A and B are shown apart, each in its own frame.
Chain A
Amino acid sequence: MSQDGCGAPAGGVTITADAASKEAVVEGRVLRGATPVTTGYARLRGSGDEFVAEVPLGDDGGFRFFAAPGDWTLVVLAPGGIRDERVVSANIGQITKVEIAV
């Protein structure tokens, strides 16, 4: 996946240890029982409810965002009308992990 574009690869862009120390990362997985949900989307919205970013879920049900520090609304959509919405916080140098059961 080229970073020349603005789109996101399934699961989000891979992170390095160096990048993790400089970025405010929100990442997680979507699971049905112990099985990853591989078809679906994770979306980040800002404090004004504006869209910020969206990634298709990866093969492990995963997603990753490089956000600015602060509070964000995370929305997960999956087939079957599944929708999960929650508030997450991002901080520079930290990886905020989220696990979503559907």
Chain B
Amino acid sequence: MSRTDALVEADWVESKIGQPGYVIVEVDEDTSAYDKGHIPSAVKVDWKTDLQDPVRRDFVDKTGFEELLSKRGISNDDTVILYGGNNNWFAAYAYWYFKLYGHEKVVLLDGGRKKWELDSRELSTDVPSRAKTSYTAKEQDASLRAKRDEVVDAIGKRNLIDVRSPDEFSGKLLAPAHLPQEQAQRGGHIPTAKNVPWSKAANEDGTFKSDADLTTLYKEEARVDGSKDTIAYCRIGERSAHTWFVLHEILGLPNVKNYDGSWTEYGSLVGVPIELGEGK
């Protein structure tokens, strides 16, 4: 993969509004954002109620994903254009999810909702009506997703990239600073993890930095070892999906996984090692 395969600009997206074969999808944590105004013709996906199993902590399964996309009127051959708020965190998470279930043609709008709004581009409150489809997903691609035992085993062996803020990484905060801090789990990070906050990969308007800047960030500043496999994690796996997108889709690094259990799982495991402070 490369930037041109995975990332699209707003002008291109505007040219695809209402075009057959293209489905624009807004993915937000806060779905009231969609309801207040969205890119014309866009359909809505709620990262939690649509993409998470309602009982277990896991994704919706293959059947659930097929039902979701069928209901949204998305066909296997459609090009899905994803965008969302929070600097595309949840849109990147959905992108990773579409890839997990084998959707071939999926792209991400650079800058997402934020850049679209800051550019004063058109937003609509009209909810499109799309005919139901019969979507068929593939089995989950395990090469893109890390689970807890694999993460514990990766300590000291693979690149572990903690993409949370420095204060979350050090254990000073347990959640991002716009959220209350009461949490049940321990603070800190996985030993040997490097702290490369997701935000270092993004410009202030939410667009991704240039390939040259991203290469400098990960290979030179963070000294990510290109000869090793990589696992990215954050608190619940959406910010790390943003970093997974940068490493795997923009920079084209092979063998990059997202650990969606992330710190809310790891920081609650009994007996696993935890490191505090700035890291080594």
Which A residues have a C-beta under 8 Å from some C-beta of B? 1-10, 12-13, 15, 19, 23, 39-41, 43-44, 46, 48, 50-56, 64-68, 75, 77-80
Once the chains bind, are B117 and A10 in contact (CB under 8 Å)? no
Tell whether, in the assembled complex, residue A7 and residue B166 are in contact, meaning their CB atoms are under 8 Å apart.
no
Chain A interface: which of B96-104, B170-178, B219-227? B170-178
Closest Cβ of chain B to A86, distance in Å, is: 15
Contact B178 A66 (CB under 8 A): yes
For the side of the interface on B, what is the size category? 35 or more
Q: Are B205 and A53 in contact, CB atoms less than 8 angstroms apart?
A: no
Contact residues in B for A5 (Cβ distance below 8 Å): 29, 47-48, 90, 236, 238
Between-chain CB contacts (< 8 Å), 25 pairs: A2-B29, A5-B238, A6-B89, A6-B175, A6-B176, A6-B179, A7-B29, A7-B30, A7-B89, A9-B32, A13-B180, A41-B114, A43-B204, A46-B166, A48-B166, A51-B165, A51-B197, A51-B200, A54-B86, A54-B87, A54-B178, A68-B167, A77-B204, A79-B117, A79-B119
Q: Is B235 an interface residue (CB 8 A)?
A: yes
Chain A residues lying within 8 Å of B29, measured Cβ to Cβ, are 1-2, 5-7
Residue B190 at the chain A interface, CB threshold 8 Å: no
**Distance (Å) between the CB of A14 and the closest chain B CB?**
10
